[in-house]
Amino acid sequence: MTTMFIQLRRVVYLLVLLHFCTCVGFADDDDKKKNGEKHAEKMVDWLNKVDVQYPGAKTCQRVGDSNNEKYAEIATKVWKVADDLKQSADKARKLVKELNESDEGRHGDIARQLNEHVDVVTTRVEESKEVIAAAREAREEARVLVGCTVFLGNLQDLRSENKKEALKYWTRELEEKNKELKLLEWGDLINRTRAKEAEVDMLVQNLTFSISRSRGISNEVAQSLAKAVAAAEEAVDRFEKVKENVNVSNTRGDYGPKVEKLKNEMNTTMGVKEKKMIPDKDPSVNLVNGGDITTKEAKWKDTVELNVGASPVTGALVREHPKKGKDSTIAKELNRVLEEEKENLKNKKIEEKKAFEEMKRAEIRRKEEERRAEAERKRRAEEEKARLEREKQEKKAREEKARQERAEEERKKREKLAEEEKERKAKEDAERAKNAKKKKDNSVRLALMHSPLLLLLLCFLGCTVVC
């Protein structure tokens, strides 16, 4: 009884130890899952922050890339206008100087050249009207695009070295834990995070280039506009200073009205003279909602104040067009593309969700196929085992039968040998009996042959004894 209790106690100890080991294993898996979930939450938070900034940044990059070429062409045209007006101003200065220094003989000819040059400058100002207007619009639109630095800065912050290292650590740890747990959600999160990292890095690179180009074009256009206006103003000033002298020599007396016409045309085409120092700081993005900007709330204003803000080139002189506001084509385009990018992001998330659900279904099918394959493998293994066992039993039966047959043959051989031995012995016994009988018959015959002598001998011996 005591021995039985001791054995039962040992069994209980083993069961308790097994239960403890199982609990430790489950607890270890739970710890890994909890730690992994912490890393996963941080990665999801990073992805959400990227999604907030991505549509706005992508919008700026797309619109910038599609418009910068046009702005560059306009910048080239306005530079040509500024150069032409500068040459006109230089010629006006030269003619005025010659007029002031000329004698009576040359005075009339120079006055005529000045009168004709007023017409040339007026024509150039008139012809530059469309270019100047397009340049102002390009400058303002480029400034709006430069304001996209708010999105660029936010994305750059999300890809700072510290955050890169943190994201790398979270991803590596989650991937290491998922090698054992094999969770589809974690695997999908790791893949999406790495893909988004590459996507954001490429967007930051492209947007940086686009904004830099927009900034350069805005500065170039602003400087060319300033030079064009300055050249036109210089020419008008030169023409006005010698108005009296030219009118004296001008028999038609139309020099003064021409200069006034030039002034009016210049004011209409180029605007009033307004000098502004361009600040070092980039203009902020011109959105409806100020403060912290999120992509979901971002919307560019439909009108822009053309006298507000300037390109970031310290010390440059800019004449601003006096019109206070106008419909902003770039704002409309930005808002349109922004809605497209929001929709693209939404559709992408839907596609990612569908892909993940399909992956889950594929994983379920794969596991089901593996389960069926495993069941089939086990079934075949059992069949093979049964076949081998059957063959083993059959072989054993055949061997047993063969052994029995050999034993039977041996028995029959022994019986046959025993029978033959018995027959041999019987023959030998019969032969011996026959021989013995023969000998016996010969002995009786011999005894009968010598019986008188024996009788005589016996009588003699008997007598001897009596005596």
Looking up tokens 């030219």 gives 246
Taking 50 as the pLDDT cut, the residues of the chain under it are 16, 19-27, 251, 272-297, 303-325
pLDDT of residue 269: 77
In angstroms, the CA 78 to CA 120 distance is 18
The predicted pLDDT at position 439 comes to 67
pLDDT at 277: 33
CB 356: neighbour CB atoms within 10 A? 17
pLDDT at 403: 86
Angle between helix 104-127 and 2-101 (nearest 10)? 150
pLDDT single digits (tens) 86-140: 998 998 888 888 888 877 767 778 888 888 888 898 888 888 889 998 999 888 8
**Quick check: 186 and 174 in contact, CB under 8 A?**
yes
How far, in Å, CA of 266 to CA of 236, rounded? 9
- At 257-266, the pLDDT tens digits run 888 888 888 8
Q: How far apart are the first and last CA of the chain?
A: 102
- 3-state DSSP helix/strand/coil % of the chain, to nearest 5: 85, 5, 15
Residue keyed to tokens 């209409």:
268
Per-residue model confidence (pLDDT) at position 107: 78
d(CA 355, CA 64): 32
Q: Is 161 exposed, middle or buried (0-12, 13-18, 19+ CB in 10 A)?
A: exposed
Rounded to whole angstroms, the Cα distance separating 44 from 33 reads 16
- Return the pLDDT at 108: 79
Task: Give the HSE-up count for residue 112: Cα atoms under 13 Å, Cβ half-sphere.
Answer: 6
Q: Is this structure's pTM higher than 0.75?
A: no
State the alpha helices, DSSP H only, in 242-328: 243-249, 255-270
Query: Got the DSSP string for 300-311?
Result: B-SEE-TTS---
pLDDT of residue 98: 85
CA pair distance 144, 148, nearest whole angstrom:
7
Instruction: Please report the pLDDT score of residue 41 as a whole number.
Output: 94
Containing 441, the helix (H) or strand (E) segment is helix 329-466
- How far out from the chain centre does Cα 120 lie? 61
Neighbouring residues of 155: CB distance < 8 A, sequence distance ≥ 6: 50, 53, 54, 57, 200, 203, 204, 207
Helix axes 129-146, 329-466, angle to 10 degrees: 40
Contact 125, 31 (CB under 8 A): no
Predicted pLDDT at 52? 94
Helix (H, G, I), strand (E, B) or coil at 317: strand
Strand partners, 277: 317
Q: Which residues of 49-85 are buried (b: 16+ CB within 10 A; e: fewer)?
A: bbbbbbbbbbbbbbbbbebbeebbebbebbbebbebb
Token pair, residue 304, equals 């822009």
The DSSP call for residue 280 is: S
The one-letter code for the residue type at 363 is E
